[in-house]
Every structure is written in C-alpha cells, then in structure tokens.
Structure 1
Amino acid sequence: MFLDHLKVFYIAATKKNFSETAKVLHLSQPSVSLQIKHLEEYLNTSLFDRSTKKMELTDTGKLLYQYAEQIIELVNVAEKELALLSDTIHGDLRLGASMTIGEYLLPYHLSAFIKKYPKVHIKMKIDNSHQIIDKLLSGEIDLGFIEATIHHEKLEIIPFLEDELLIISSMSSPSPLLVDEFIELDQLVLLPLIMRERGSGTRQVLERKLLENKLDPSKLNVILELENTESIKSAVGSGLGAAIISKTAIQKEAELGILKTTRIRGLSLKRHFYLLNKKQSLSPASDAFKELFLGLFR
C-alpha cells in the first residue's frame, strides 16, 4: 500500500496538479487527494504546501520526491532481475508516440515483439512530441518516440531512423508554384499552408530549419491548423492548400498518385526519429522492447 501511495505522490509532485495526476492514473481527483493524505498521515508530515494557490512541495516533500524516484527505480531493477531468473517477461508496457511515428511507423513493428513476449500487454498513447516528453517525465509512459530534437538531463535520447519533410499538394489541382520538383525558399510564404499545431515535432523541425535559413516562420501563410495528419492530407487532397509533413506519412498517397510532393531548393528538411527513456533502470518489458525495436533499424 505504501508503494502505491508513493507512486501517486511521485506523479503528483511531477505534474504539480492533482487533476492531471488523476487523469494519468485513471483515478478520481478525490481518490488522489485521499492517497496523498494517507501518505502524509503515515509519515506524520505535510508533503505539499496548501497555503498558496500554486501547488508546491514542502521541504519534506522535496526530500521524499528524491527518494521516491530512487525507490521506483529499485522496484524496476528488482522486477527485471526476477524476470530474468524466471525466464518470463510479462506485465504492462506503456508506449507514447508522436503522431507520425504512432500512426505510420510503430504499429508495423509491434508484431515481432508480441510474438516473442505474448504475456506483455502493450498500451500506446499518441500525442504531439511536447506532450510525449511530459508523459515520459511524469511516469505516465515507459518509452517515448518523437520527431523533434531535444536535450534533457533526465532522458536518454536515441536516434533510430532518418526521415524527411516534404511539401504536399493536390495532384488534381496543384498550385502553380508546385508544378516542378522544387520550389524556391522565398516562394514558400506565397503558399496557403495547412499546418500541424504548435508543439508537434513536425512543426518544431520546420520552424527551426526556416530560422536557420533566415526565414521567419511567422511570415508563412498558415490558413488552417489541424492536430491530425490524416485530416491534413484530406484537406490538401481537396485542394484547400499545401502542407509540409513527413515522407513516412504520405508514402501510400504518393504511390497512388493522389498527392504530389515538392522539395525546397537548397533547404534540407531531413530529421531523425528518436526513442526516449528516463535515465534509470527500465522495467523488463520496456528493456526488451527497446532492445528488439532498435535492432530492427541497425
């Protein structure tokens, strides 16, 4: 019971929000509050400062947070050692992936793992890159897969596949600017663009590349923002505008001649996909998946 309460405390202290903690753990907010209260009563101390509107840890809460991280890591180590001794890997594996990876890449590489480890139950969340990082840090997922380059002292970040962003347009009604294989960089601002939301890995990579090439992303003519790649492809296919998305996401449409692809002359929009995990011992299922998955791309 103490360990269960400790895990609730750890996520609450990371999220700094009981409501968000409840969503992560699929509990009610009163249940989260009650478990924190029971932990405080057991330890005979206050863990959160309730005198202000902003949720902050007390000094004892900060100390327990450090130990909670170590204890949860030790539990993972123990589970891994026991699994190796019993020669079985089982339990839940919680994956989080950005849109492109989660919809167009990861599902096709799950079968080999499921056949090898049938006792592992996989749960996958699909979100934008920024939210995947948050979920990984809070302990909501075990492994993350994103499209944006990041640096974080608590995360191990492993590139596993090169990808490229391309301009896509309707094959039936292409923009006059996109009839050739390339478009000039300064012509990009003339296109009506359909973009992913801010926080998506695709948008972060594009904006960073444009800034590196002296083009202010705010100058782009963004007529519509959508949170779903399939919706973007449908909007482009209807002739509403052009978009810049992953080559991985439009392979089928390009082969069928539904969408036309164009590159920007002199601008490389190549990037990597990344596997992320916290710099601590992984659960046996997470460790096994990481090893098998990366082996597919070596």
Structure 2
Amino acid sequence: MDQQLNVFVTVAELGNFSRAAEKLHMTQPAVSQYIQSFEGAMGIKLLERNNKFVCLTQAGEIVYHHAKEILSLHSKMHYLIDDLTNKTSGPLSIGASYTFGEYVLPHVIAKMQGEYPMITPTIMIGNTKEIANLVLGHQLDVGIIEGEFHDKNLSIEPFAEDSLYLVASPKHRLVQKNGEINLSELEDEMWIVRENGSGTREVTEKMFRLCGFTPKRKLEFGSTQLIKESVEAGLGISLLSYWAVRKECSIGTLKVIKIEQLPMKRKFSIVLRSPFQTKALSVFLELLKEHDVISDLLRKL
C-alpha cells in the first residue's frame, strides 16, 4: 500500500504518467498498473486521463490529501526508530512566518548546522495560518508563527517576543514634522499592510482598534520585503517588526514615526502536532528556547 500511495501522489503532483515513471525509476506500464490496482482497492476512479494530462477527480482530491499525511507519518515513524540507535541526523521540515523565517531563522539554522551537520533542514515560508495548517496536516515537523493562533489539535508554545514600529520614508511629512502627531493624521495616510492570515496584519488591525480609527486608504501586499521597498519609495506607511527594519533604520532609509501607542508587542510561538520528536527536531527546539542563543541572534541582526 505504501508504494501505491507513493505512485499515486507522484502521478497526481506531476500530472503525467511518463514523468512520474521517470521520477520513480519505473516503466510507464508499471505506474499504470499501480494506479489501476489502487483505484480497484479504493473502489472509485481517482484520476481523469487523456493524451495530454492527468488530473484528480473529486475522490482523488480527498485521497491525495490524506495520502500526503500518511506518507509523511510513515517517514517520520522510520526516522524516530532510527533515532533510537543512530546519531542526530536526518531531514527536518520547518515552517515559519515571514518575519521570523526571513530575518531570524537563517541564523538559527546556521548555528544548528555548525553543531549538527548531519541534520538536513528544509524551510517553508508562509503566513501564520498557512504554516499552522501545514503542521496540522503533517506536512511540516514544526512551525514558528506570529501573533495569536488557536487550534485544539496543535501544541502552541510562545518562546520569543517581537516589537513592531510604525515606519516611513525619511522624506515623509510625518517624519519631518515637529511636535506630536495626531491620530487623525494617521487615518488619512496610505497604509501598506500584509494579507489576511498574516501575524503582522493581525497586530496592525489591533493597533487600528487601539488607536480608534480605520485607514481611509490601504494597500495589501503579501511580502514584508515588498512593503519595505514601497515604504522606502514613499508610497505609504506601515507597521513592521523591529527584526525586519533594523538594518534600514540604522542606515537611514527608513524612519520610525513615534506615537504613544507604539511599539506594539507580540509573541512568536512554536507549533507542533505530533507528541513524538526526532532527535533533529529536539535539537532545533532546544536552540529556539535557549534564551542566550536568541539574544545573540538579535544582537547580530
């Protein structure tokens, strides 16, 4: 059954029997036979075929989703057994929200690789909701998310704090203005925000509620880097993590707009699904939770 699942998932992802056979180092007739046997065992057609493409039926979509989880759990089971006798090694799939994933995680991975070179990490960057759902579906071993997220099927543990500041171009009128800034002035500005599902967007909306206004103009971008470039270009203002803007603020391409309500604070949390941990995952979690390690990383950023 494991091989049938593997063949089915490969065909579904590549959309072609020939390419699937090549990847699996099998003949095309052998791949076709596996699919036919699998469909027979399931009692329903899973793939629509023609000369040009292969696509999933409605039943195939359901089977594909669960097949990915089953294969992931099967691999994890073998790594856990191997860990009982072998040195810390093997794959580790990590998901992280944009801010932590792009500005802090690379330094954690570098430290881990220096001490445990036989661990082979893969990294997925997405917003908080995306990462949590991938952990929930056993597509990731561990996730690091921003802000508040709740799911009874996940273990969510805060481990680090972040501060978010309002930033603008050095030439922006609010930066050059002397004296206190009225909140009504912020309401009239063009705000550049992250997409729904992002931890940064969640904190931004919380700030709007705290300050008692809703921006009259707002642009939604799916990348922190794109937002920084847009703010530097004078397109608008944005609430961003200190970790994300520290370098730009130090060289003067971004400036902090100071208001009484800021900075906003939020937590970064570790997200897990399985109660069992490989040695590779345990090592990674220890690095994240060591206060001195995180402090060192923050000083380097």
Give TM class, smaller chain: 0.7 to 0.9
Is 1:197 paired with 2:195? Answer: yes
Q: Distance in 2 between matches of 1:70 and 1:140?
A: 10
Q: How many residues align?
A: 274
Runs of 5+ consecutive residues of structure 2 not aligned to the other structure: 21-30, 49-55, 296-301
Secondary structure at 2:140 match in 1: coil
Q: Distance in 2 between matches of 1:214 and 1:162?
A: 25
Q: Distance in 2 between matches of 1:46 and 1:280?
A: 34
Name the structure 2 match of 1:136: 135
Name the structure 2 match of 1:250: 245
C-alpha change, 1:166 and 1:267, in structure 2 (3 Å) is closer
Q: In the alignment, residue 221 of structure 1 is paired with which amino acid?
A: R
Q: In the alignment, residue 288 of structure 1 is paired with which amino acid?
A: V
Is 1:105 paired with 2:104? Answer: yes
Instruction: Map 1:128-277; keep pairs closer than 5 Å.
Output: 128-171=127-170, 173-176=171-174, 179=177, 183-211=181-209, 214-216=212-214, 219-222=215-218, 224-266=219-261, 269-277=264-272
The Cα shift of 1:186 comes to 4.1
Q: Distance in 1 between matches of 2:188 and 2:231?
A: 16
Contact 2:193 2:204 in 1 (8 A): no
The Cα shift of 1:199 comes to 2.1
Q: Distance in 2 between matches of 1:36 and 1:185?
A: 62
C-alpha change, 1:174 and 1:44, in structure 2 (3 Å) is closer
The Cα shift of 1:102 comes to 1.2
Name the structure 2 match of 1:80: 80
Q: Distance in 2 between matches of 1:90 and 1:159?
A: 26
C-alpha change, 1:215 and 1:176, in structure 2 (3 Å) is closer
The Cα shift of 1:37 comes to 5.9
Q: Distance in 1 between matches of 2:165 and 2:117?
A: 38
Structure with the greater alpha carbon radius of gyration = 2
Q: In the alignment, residue 141 of structure 1 is paired with which amino acid?
A: L
Name the structure 2 match of 1:28: 15
Which string of whole-angstrom CA distances, capped at 9 and with x for unpartnered residues, describes residues 43-63 of structure 1?
565598x9xx99469xxx8xx
Q: Distance in 2 between matches of 1:142 and 1:4?
A: 22
Runs of 5+ consecutive residues of structure 1 not aligned to the other structure: 13-17
Secondary structure at 2:85 match in 1: helix
Instruction: Map 1:41-52; keep pairs closer than 5 Å.
Output: 41=40, 43=41, 45=43
- RMSD of aligned residue pairs (Cα, Å): 3.8
Secondary structure at 2:203 match in 1: helix
C-alpha change, 1:201 and 1:83, in structure 2 (3 Å) is same
Q: In the alignment, residue 293 of structure 1 is paired with which amino acid?
A: L
Which string of whole-angstrom CA distances, capped at 9 and with x for unpartnered residues, describes residues 216-253 of structure 1?
4xx4421x322222221121112221111111100111
Aligned residues with identical type, % of pairs: 28
Name the structure 2 match of 1:15: none
Q: In the alignment, residue 95 of structure 2 is paired with which amino acid?
A: G
Contact 1:77 1:282 in 2 (8 A): no
Which string of whole-angstrom CA distances, capped at 9 and with x for unpartnered residues, describes residues 200-226 of structure 1?
21002221343366544xx4421x322
C-alpha change, 1:29 and 1:112, in structure 2 (3 Å) is same
Q: Distance in 2 between matches of 1:247 and 1:120?
A: 30
C-alpha change, 1:193 and 1:36, in structure 2 (3 Å) is farther
